[in-house]
Amino acid sequence: MECISRDELHKIQGERLAATVKREYENVPVYRERMDAAGVKPEDIRSVEDLQYLPFMEKTDLRDYYPFGLLASPQEEIVRIHGSSGTTGKPIVSGYTRNDVDVWSEMMARTLTAAGATRGDIVQVTYGLGLFTGGFGAYQGADRIGAMVIPMSSGNTQRQIMMMKDLGATMLCCTPSYASYLGETIREMGIDPKKDLKLKAGCFGAEPWTEEMRQRIEQLLEIDACDIYGLTEIAGPGVAFECLEKNGMHINEDHVIAEIIDPTTGKQLPYGMHGELVFTTITKTGMPMMRYRTHDICTLTADKCACGRTLARMGRIVGRTDDMLVIRGVNVFPSQIESVLVGADGVAPHYMLIVDRVNSSDTLEVQVEMTEEMFGDTVAHIENVRKYITAQIKSVVGIASKVKLVAPKSIPRSEGKAKRVIDNRKL
C-alpha cells in the first residue's frame, strides 16, 4: 500500500471516501445537517475531487458535541477513548472502535518501520501513556511489528537513561524537546552514546521543531531523528511519518486524505504552497472526521521519494494558525526563532517568548539560556553574543525584539509538549 501507484490509490481513496460520507450522513446528525445546508448528498461524493463540496469540521465541533455526539458507531463498539493534551484550550475526546485501533496501529507500525525498526528492535516509549495518544500509539506500532516495547511513559529522566542503557534500547519515541533534553543529560552524565548506548533512531513529534533541532538531536544522541505527525481527532501519532530520507512526512493516504487550504477563504491550494492542513478520514468508523481543519501550516508534495514509497509527503509544520503570533502586524512563528537559536554559539535552544503590549505597541522578549561555558564568560563577550542573536532574529522574523540571556537550566523543561510562548496581551 505504501508503494501503490497514485492512480490506484486515488481509486481506493474515492471508494473509501464515498462509503465514509454515507456512514457519516446516516449516523451523525450534525454531518447530515451540514451536508443538507451545503446542498450535498452522499451520492454526490464519488471521488477525491468531490471532497471540495463537503463542509469543514473544527475543533470547536468536538467541544460542542463532547463527548459522544460525533460517534458514527453504536457506543458499545467503542473500545477506547483518547483525549487531546489541550495545547490550546479545553481537552477534547475521540472514540475508537476495534477497527480504528487496528488502523492506527498499522499506521504506527509503518512509522517505526520507516525509521528502521524491525522485530529485533527495543523501542523505548517516552511519550506519556494515558489519554494522550503519543504513548499508546508508539506502543501499539512497536507491538504490531513484534519489537520489544519499554513503555516508560514520560518523566524521571535519570530512570529513563538507566533503562535505556541497561536494556539496550535501540529506538526512542518522544517529543523532540525531550529528546534534546535527554541528549544533554546523557552527555552531562559522561555517557558516550556510541559506546554505552545502542540507540539507532528515534521518532519525534507531537510538537513543532526545526531542521536545526534535528541536527542537534542527531549529534547529541548519535541517531537518525525522524519527524512524526498526528493528532487525536484523526488517529493519534502516525498520520504521517518520515522515512530515513528525512525529506518530509509520508501521509498514510489509504486511511486519510490530506488537503491544503487557504485558511481565510477555505479554498484548496495546489501542492507546493503553504496553507492549512485539512484531513478527511476514510477508514475510521468510531468517530470519522470530514475535512477536519488542523490549523497546522505546511506544504504537500507528491514528488517521488528515493525510499520507493509513493505516499505524498507533508513538509515540516511551520506553525499553527492559532500559535502564530501577530506582533506589530508581522506574523511570527516560534519555529522561526528556534531556527536562529539552535544554530547559535553560546546558547542552548531552550527559550521562551514573552509578548506584551506597552503604550499600545507590541513587544517581544526572547529569553534564551546560555550554555555553562558562556555563563562563566566575560560580560563583554556575553553582550556580543546577545547583540548577534538580536540581529539574527531581526533578519529572520523581520521585527525587533529584546533578547535576554538567562542562566543555564532556568527555563522550565517539558516532558511532553514544550511551552514556548507567554502572551500577556490576552490577559
Name the site residues for ligand ADP (rule: CB under 6 A). 84-88, 205-208, 227-232, 294, 296, 317, 320
Binding footprint of Zn ion on the chain (CB under 5 A): 243, 245, 305, 307, 309
Instruction: Find out whether 51 and 257 touch, Cβ atoms under 8 Å.
Output: yes
Residue 144 contact, options ligand ADP, Zn ion, none, Cβ 5-8 Å cut-off depending on partner type: none
Measured from the CB of residue 139, what is the shortest distance to Zn ion in angstroms? 24
Q: How far apart are CA 169 and CA 56, in angstroms?
A: 42
Query: What is the CB neighbour count within 10 angstroms for residue 57?
Result: 24
Measured from the CB of residue 391, what is the shortest distance to ligand ADP in angstroms? 27
CA distances from 261 to 21, 139, 208, 264, 325 (A): 20, 33, 20, 9, 20
Residue 392 contact, options Zn ion, ligand ADP, none, Cβ 5-8 Å cut-off depending on partner type: none
Residue (233 or 369) nearer to ligand ADP, CB: 233
Measured from the CB of residue 297, what is the shortest distance to ligand ADP in angstroms? 9
CA distances from 398 to 320, 338, 368, 390, 422 (A): 19, 15, 19, 11, 20
Residue 205 contact, options ligand ADP, Zn ion, none, Cβ 5-8 Å cut-off depending on partner type: ligand ADP
Q: How far apart are CA 225 and CA 219, in angstroms?
A: 10
Residue (111 or 285) nearer to ligand ADP, CB: 111
Residue 202 contact, options Zn ion, ligand ADP, none, Cβ 5-8 Å cut-off depending on partner type: none
Residue 305 contact, options ligand ADP, Zn ion, none, Cβ 5-8 Å cut-off depending on partner type: Zn ion
Residue (217 or 305) nearer to Zn ion, CB: 305
Residue 284 contact, options ligand ADP, Zn ion, none, Cβ 5-8 Å cut-off depending on partner type: none
Residue (170 or 294) nearer to ligand ADP, CB: 294
Residue (21 or 251) nearer to ligand ADP, CB: 251
- Cα angle value 324/330/333 (rounded, 5°): 30
Among 415, 272, 217, smallest CA distance to 227 is for 217
Measured from the CB of residue 362, what is the shortest distance to ligand ADP in angstroms? 24
- Cα angle value 46/51/54 (rounded, 5°): 110
Residue (175 or 197) nearer to ligand ADP, CB: 175
Place of cell 538580536: 390
125 has which bridge partners? 173
Residue 232 contact, options Zn ion, ligand ADP, none, Cβ 5-8 Å cut-off depending on partner type: ligand ADP
Residue (111 or 370) nearer to ligand ADP, CB: 111
236 has which bridge partners? 231
Measured from the CB of residue 131, what is the shortest distance to ligand ADP in angstroms? 9
Q: How far apart are CA 366 and CA 390, in angstroms?
A: 9
End-to-end CA distance of the chain: 49
Listed in sequence order, the DSSP H helices in 28-114 are 29-38, 59-64, 98-114
Residue 243 contact, options Zn ion, ligand ADP, none, Cβ 5-8 Å cut-off depending on partner type: Zn ion
Place of cell 511489528: 145
Measured from the CB of residue 111, what is the shortest distance to Zn ion in angstroms? 12
Residue (222 or 245) nearer to Zn ion, CB: 245
16 φ, ψ to 5°? -70, -35
Measured from the CB of residue 396, what is the shortest distance to ligand ADP in angstroms? 19
Measured from the CB of residue 416, what is the shortest distance to ligand ADP in angstroms? 9
